[in-house]
Structure 1
Amino acid sequence: MLISFKSVLKTAALSLLAWFSIPLSHAAGMVPQTPVLLVEEGMGEAVMNVRNTDARPALLHTTIENVEEGDDVLLVFTPPIARVEPGGIQQVRFILQNRQPLKTERLKRVIFEGISPVSDADGAQVTLGVRQNLPVILRPAGLPVEREPWKRLIWSMDATGIQIVNPSPYVVRLARAIVPLPGTRSVNLPRTYILPGERLHADLPLHASAQTMAVRIFPATTYGFAVDHYDAPVAR
């Protein structure tokens, strides 16, 4: 589905905010200290402070989600469940347990959920939870910091659209909406991240495929902050 260029900037900004960051000023429940958890292999661990912004005590429930198929368990954490008083802060510790050195960045997600007992109209006890879902980047020891990993992506045309290849060791995150240039309408990527060594595809209409010379993307930094758009050349 095509989207007008006038709306793509708004769409990109909203999707970046929704996927990459946590609106701390408007958040309720359990609020993480930062919008991204970065775990350095050289350090072996990282911590995240989570604040209970509610006016009542709650249980902080932490879980890890894998985004890669068949991904092994590389990260353990403690505590999985903790009581946090109103306005209190709970520190959650994340520990790498990789058997082999990391060769590329790895992507996971961490979910912080606040669980509070609440009485309904009949006096029965029910449980309400507010979730914060954050990306987790595992960084290999000795890997240089790359502030613009999206510039390493390789874009090329095929019979039905655009192929995107990430030959770098970095996880690249960006808004789903991209704009084939020259043009004013956007198309969507399959998702908002491209893993190291991964290849993705975005369908294009026939007329757009014939004209596309570059693509405008809306990336985010490792720490989850949106940056200016970037126009990447498209090979033929």
Structure 2
Amino acid sequence: MNAFTRNAITRVLLVFLLWPGSIRAAGMVPETPVLVLDEGLGEAGINVFNSEPHPALLHTSVEDVPQDTEPLLLLTPPVARVEPGATQRVRFILRSAEPLKTERLKRLVFEGIAPQDSTGKAQVSLSVRQNIPAILRPARLPVDREPWKHLVWSRQGTEVKVRNPSPYVVRLGHSVMLLPGGKEMDLGRTYVLPGEQLTLSGMAEPSHLPLQVRLFPVTTYGFAIAHFDAPLVTD
């Protein structure tokens, strides 16, 4: 973090600390860390809980990942009032013009907007955004509980690549480790889409001749496993 960034953060914190009123955080909590929508059903829903002691407006939206910007989901309701301690069901409807050939990845954003203070006192209302993945699954695609095993890892000189030849979205941690040697390399993001090939950031150390890649996968339903060691082939 450079000095400019540190100074900017410090100024923002001072504004909050010196604000002549209160600071609140509004939180809407989805019931699951990921939404899986089966094309055969055509829609899926998720309950969102208002964890705050006051009513709030729940604003829901769908975000595309940069690699897939096709609009595939409708949602209802986009905005709803939720009482404190209550839940709101949000439905997501698939609207693909053609049958899905592979799994697709979207992001769902749930944001709570707190009501204005009726007393007229100045206050800062911090709106907490919950951002979770949504996986859209083709109707006849078999469930694979270990999709990370389909990834193909290869090395050419000091460059390491990963390719996903499967129809599954693979979710995993940002970084992987080359074995032996323990060299850490950065994937740049936490998913590999079907058909993608990514080049990792960093350089492998030729002197260690790595034979495996240790990755830290996340299951379809959002649970992290300890690790998985995949073979590293040399091109």
- TM interval, shorter chain, is 0.7 to 0.9
Find the residue that maps to 2:114 and give its secondary structure: strand
8 Å contact from structure 2 (residues 57, 112) kept in 1: yes
Moved over 6 A (4+): none
1:73 to 59, 71, 74: 71
Distance 1:86 1:206, change over 3 A: closer
Identity over aligned residues, as a percent? 57
Rg larger for: 2
Unaligned runs of at least 5 residues, structure 2? 1-24
- Superposition RMSD in Å: 2.1
Query: Which residue of the partner structure matches residue 179 of structure 2?
Result: 181
1:92 to 90, 93, 97: 90
1:52 to 50, 54, 60: 50
Q: Deviations over 1:90-128 (max 9, x none)?
A: 000100000100000000000000010344997247543
Aligned mates of 1:121, 1:188 — CA distance in 2: 50
Query: Which residue of the partner structure matches residue 64 of structure 1?
Result: 62
Find the residue that maps to 2:149 and give its secondary structure: helix
- Following TM superposition, by how much is the alpha carbon of 1:189 offset from its aligned partner in structure 2, in angstroms? 0.9
Q: Establish whether residue 134 from structure 1 lines up as the match of residue 132 from structure 2.
A: yes
Find the residue that maps to 1:150 and give its secondary structure: helix
- Greater mean alpha carbon deviation, residues 143-152 or residues 201-210: 201-210
Aligned mates of 1:206, 1:111 — CA distance in 2: 37
Distance 1:144 1:209, change over 3 A: farther
1:150 to 148, 151, 160: 148
- Following TM superposition, by how much is the alpha carbon of 1:148 offset from its aligned partner in structure 2, in angstroms? 0.5
Instruction: Output aligned runs, 1:206-221, within 5 Å.
Output: 207-208=205-206, 211-221=209-219
Distance 1:77 1:206, change over 3 A: closer
Aligned mates of 1:168, 1:192 — CA distance in 2: 17
Quick one: higher RCO (CA 8 Å, sep 6+), 1 or 2?
1
Find the residue that maps to 2:115 and give its secondary structure: strand
Find the residue that maps to 2:148 and give its secondary structure: helix
Unaligned runs of at least 5 residues, structure 1? 1-26
Query: Which residue of the partner structure matches residue 117 of structure 1?
Result: 115
- Alignment TM-score, normalising by the size of structure 2: 0.84
What is the aligned length? 210
